[in-house]
Amino acid sequence: MPGRQIAEIMGTSSYAAVEEQHPGLVVLESRNRTAGYARRTGIACVMASLLASAAALGAEPGAQFLTGDWGGARTQWSEAGIDLMLTYIGEYMAVTSGGLAQKGEYLSRTDLGVTLNTEKRMGWKDGTFQFTFMHTDGGQPNDHVGSLQGVSNIEAPVTTKLLEAWYDQGFFSGSASLRFGLYDLNTEFDAMETAKMFSNPSFGISPDFSQSGVNGPSIFPTTSLALRARYQSAGNLYAQAAILDGVPGKPGAPRGTYIRLDPQDGWLVAAETGYQATRASNSKERYLKLGVGAWRYTEPLSADVNGNPVGARYSQGFYLISEAHLYRETAGSAKGLYWFLHYG
């Protein structure tokens, strides 16, 4: 998997998928963008990333870690079922023309992930605990731009919170699983790894979905309790469904973690099915994902996420996603040419 994709996945997703191929990986990323916005303009982006991975570094013990093996401690922890993950994304954005104000802002996101393997820890097969602590800092560049969809996928109020805390239990040799807890819906639903290379929020999850509900769906930066079921066949066909609290967190209180279940909140129900081939870099099979999904809130809404009256109606939608690895630089490499398509 290309380093840029790993960094972006870790910035917006669960660490479980990255851990599967890169256990204990530490990624640091910095992004710098300067853009001019007018009524009709493009966005110029200059991005730089720093990646430390086992593939790029040597085969010495701890070489896959940016800060080493801590005298063998990290290897011992991993063998005991404890893996740590740390990511930092820093971004500078400036409005150089047009917009609401010609100013610049620096913003950042830091995630600390802890994964516990229950089989290694206590002999409980196919079980995983995941905890992700998040800190967001800096300014709000969209205040100077005025975009309805936002301009950065890490923009959030200054806060420190528990973003994810779930338990995943596998069945049938890992082909099926149940997951329960604080859950980021966009780690698995309406998600394309190739699109996550880009910084605009709409590449992460479509705006019709991300701006739905009273307080948005259960995604960054506010998540809710959820129950998710997933099945993937040996032929790469998959199906997944989730039921989530209809109002994540506490509306009007974006800072901190709130877990509250109110019968009036209702539920958000999401389902997705499709085909997803392997992403392993050593596989001869090229990556391909085709999917179709749908979502619906069980309680009617009287106002949208921005407080605008919409009348008593149900919020619902669907989406189609597709991404593929078209060309390899070398045989067995994940580097090359990718494409993706999204409709919702």
- Give the rounded percent of residues in the chain with a pLDDT score beyond 70: 76
Closest by CA to 151, choosing from 3, 34, 293, 7, is 34
Helix (H, G, I), strand (E, B) or coil at 239: strand
Alpha-carbon dihedral angle through residues 66, 67, 73, 74, given to the nearest 10 degrees: -20
- Residue 123, token pair as written in the block: 């002999």
CB of 167 closer than 8 Å to CB of 181: yes
Return the exposure string of 287-300: e unless at least 16 CB atoms fall within 10 Å of the residue's CB, then b. Answer: bbbbbebebebebe
Q: What is the pLDDT of residue 11?
A: 36
187 phi/psi in degrees, rounded to 5: -70, -25
Q: Do 18 and 10 meet the contact criterion of CB atoms below 8 Å apart?
A: yes
Strands (DSSP E) along the chain, which ranges?
A: 27-32, 46-51, 82-94, 104-117, 127-138, 159-171, 176-183, 224-232, 237-245, 267-276, 288-297, 301-303, 309-313, 316-328, 336-343
Q: What is the pLDDT of residues 44-86, one digit of tens each?
A: 333 333 333 333 334 455 566 677 788 888 889 989 999 999 9
Rounded distance between C-alpha atoms, residue 246 and residue 217, angstroms: 7
pLDDT of residue 8: 35
Please report the pLDDT score of residue 1 as a whole number. Answer: 35
Can you give the pLDDT at residue 280? 56
Quick one: pLDDT at residue 43? 31
Mean pLDDT, residues 199-203: 84
What count of other Cβ atoms lies within 10 Å of the Cβ of residue 212?
21
Using one digit for the tens of pLDDT, what is the confidence trace for 228-239? Answer: 999 999 889 999
Residues 166-177 have pLDDT tens digits of 999 999 988 999
